[in-house]
Chain A
């Protein structure tokens, strides 16, 4: 299965590199959302719970764009049929798509986190806090990637893809929102970054594990007729 995952993932990354659609759209949307927060909240800086909430909402909404586009090239150009015709375990497609979305989210965060720090966050993140934030975002991204792949596979078969993705994904991702917001709050405290709460890290890890298993069980049925 490793060779198939590798081939599928390389194809997705190459397509995004060749004709960038997903990452630039997510990054621009995220920065615009931060600007909107900047003005809508009527304050020059945010900290603590509010900062965690702003980061969490921005990431999640930007991720919806990536989920909507995840299977589009395959569906529009018929590539999905060709993949389904290959003697390849469907799980390889799930893993490759989830890894691709994870990579897109990581690239998005390379833009999102600095923009968040510059536009809204005060006090700025120390290096240690940044490393903890990266770990936290990786856990959140894994959950978004798995659920996003499931939802993307369902939505791509429908005409109302862009409507269906947030309607399905946002409720499913509420535990990620709760876990990420709660876990990130100590990093953004006005008095300086605190430790990550292990309890909420465990919640995010458990969510990733459970939805990984759910995705493994369901994905075959979603991509087949």
Chain B
């Protein structure tokens, strides 16, 4: 694997009991590129993100992330990953600012960065409010701030614009959009929108890789077929 490859999967298998949630995934994603993963509910999209995030172990095949083999070298990549999942990974009874400061300490990020990202997601004035008092959209913006707080090289984004209105989506774009310059893996149910920001498109159904091709070679009809 060369130094400019961010993710390399070879026959990745991950099971839950007897059921294969990921069944033989193989792909290569260059550093700085965006992989968009499409597929119906239960296709294995979130499982793929959790394997890449070192939170789930692969059961077969090989996984290399940022040049490190998982799970053996997971410790070496953890600080370089930013995960935005369905759960915001925030404590409801802590304030927005307390949550970010907690994560800043774990990632050894200077305290000033907390204010920087709070401001970037438009929550500086709500920073002292407890998370459970914020709207879902605000919590999602705060989760974006948490995910990029430590300036990760690889972003793992599970439907990142869910719960965001157009203005909020525009607000977080510099942090998690193509302009962020980071390698990104994004799950999406929006064929047109997803393909527009993808360099590589991956289609999953029942854990199997139905489609994996450069996004410019894939049309929305092919993505739509995954859902039928």
Contact = CB atoms under 8 A, between A and B. Distances in A.
Given A87-B75, A87-B79, A225-B57, A81 B87 contact: yes
Contacts of B98: 14
A86 B103 contact: yes
Nearest to A82: B89
A4 B83 contact: no
Chain B CB count within 10 A is highest, among A4, A78, A82, for A82
B125 to A, nearest CB: 21
Interface residues of A, number: 25
Nearest to A11: B102
Interface residues of B, number: 29
A224 B57 CA distance: 9
Chain B CB count within 10 A is highest, among A6, A7, A10, A84, for A7
A7 B106 CA distance: 7
Contacts of B78: 84-87
Contacts of A79: 89-91
A134 B77 CA distance: 45
B173 interface: no
A86 B71 CA distance: 15
Contact of A85 (B53, B71, B90, B94): B53
Interface string B71-99: 10001001101010101111111100010
B54 interface: yes
Nearest to A3: B105
Given A14-B98, A73-B91, A78-B88, A88 B106 contact: yes
Given A78-B85, A81-B83, A15 B55 contact: no
B85 A81 contact: yes
Nearest to B95: A18
B79 A81 contact: no
B108 A3 contact: yes
B93 A15 contact: yes
Contacts of A225: 55-57
Interface of A: 3-4, 6-8, 10-11, 14-15, 18-19, 73, 77-79, 81-88, 224-225
27 contacts: A3-B108, A4-B105, A7-B106, A14-B94, A15-B93, A18-B93, A18-B130, A73-B91, A77-B91, A78-B87, A78-B89, A81-B55, A81-B87, A81-B89, A82-B83, A84-B54, A85-B53, A85-B54, A85-B55, A85-B78, A85-B81, A86-B103, A87-B108, A88-B106, A224-B57, A225-B55, A225-B57
